[in-house]
Amino acid sequence: SPRTIAPGAVLLGGFALPDADTLLAALPEILAVAPFRHMVTPGGRRMSVAMTNCGALGWVSDRAGYRYETVDPATGWPWPAMPRVLGDFARRAAQAAGFSGFAPDVCLINRYEPGNRLALHQDRDERDFAHPIVSLSLGASADFLFGGPARGDRVEKLPLHHGDVVVWGGVARRHYHGVAPLEPGQEGVFGQVRINLTFRRAG
């Protein structure tokens, strides 16, 4: 059942459970073309979370900044196409949260190993913030952190488990958010690893 966790943000607990195996089965062919890598922030820090993308565009970070690119800078090849099962899933999830007609052109894939974290940030590299972002959590559980429109706003913790989906639209689309360090010692459906997929319309 959809639960509004903040204005514009809808948690669909377990929404992906019926499709989790099918969604996970789409990943090896993506990773064969666009392997996980640790990107570097504009400030020169290596991100602990490993990332890759599929879709017409992919999110990248390096010393030159954050942006979307049609070509994977690590290989010089276009990002692998978004498998239909992934795009269709994202559209259904957005629909269930009240956003009709969502057509993602990016799926950013984040891999967390024990201790990995994502610092508080805003997603603001997309062209039109009217499009929601659909996030899908798979594997080990993590504490998601969400704040407000200003970096200093109070941050709330939300545990996200295998199969959970959150759709971020409206004012929540611009809010600061991050992920607390992945706790070691918890075995998920594929070991101590968490995979997060975020579906975006960036172009």
Using CB under 5 A as the criterion, which residues of the chain lie in contact with Fe ion when the complex forms?
A: 123
Give, in order, the Cα–Cα distances in Å from 35 to each of 19, 53, 54, 56, 69.
23, 9, 11, 16, 16
Residue 127 known to bind ligand: no
Cβ distance to ligand MD3 smaller for residue 173 or 201: 173
Contact of residue 126 among Fe ion, ligand MD3, none (CB under 5-8 Å per partner type):
none
Provide, rounded to whole angstroms, the least separation between the CB of residue 188 and Fe ion: 21
Element (H, E) at 87: helix 84-96
Q: Which does 15 bind (CB under 5 to 8 A by kind): ligand MD3, Fe ion, none?
A: none
Q: Does 177 bind ligand MD3 (CB under 6 A)?
A: yes
| Nearest-angstrom CA–CA distance, 192 and 139 | 8
110 annotated as belonging to a binding site for a ligand: yes
135 lines the binding site for ligand MD3 (CB under 6 A): yes
**What is the helix (H) or strand (E) element at residue 29, kind and residue range?**
helix 27-33
At 48, is the secondary structure helix, strand, or coil?
A: coil
Q: Does 175 bind ligand MD3 (CB under 6 A)?
A: yes
- DSSP letters, 64-84, are TEEEEESB-TTTSSBPPPPPH
Q: Which residues are annotated as a binding site for Fe cation?
A: 121, 123, 177
- In the complex, which residues of this chain contact ligand MD3 (CB under 6 A)? 108, 110, 118, 123, 133, 135, 144, 166, 168, 172-173, 175, 177, 179, 196, 198
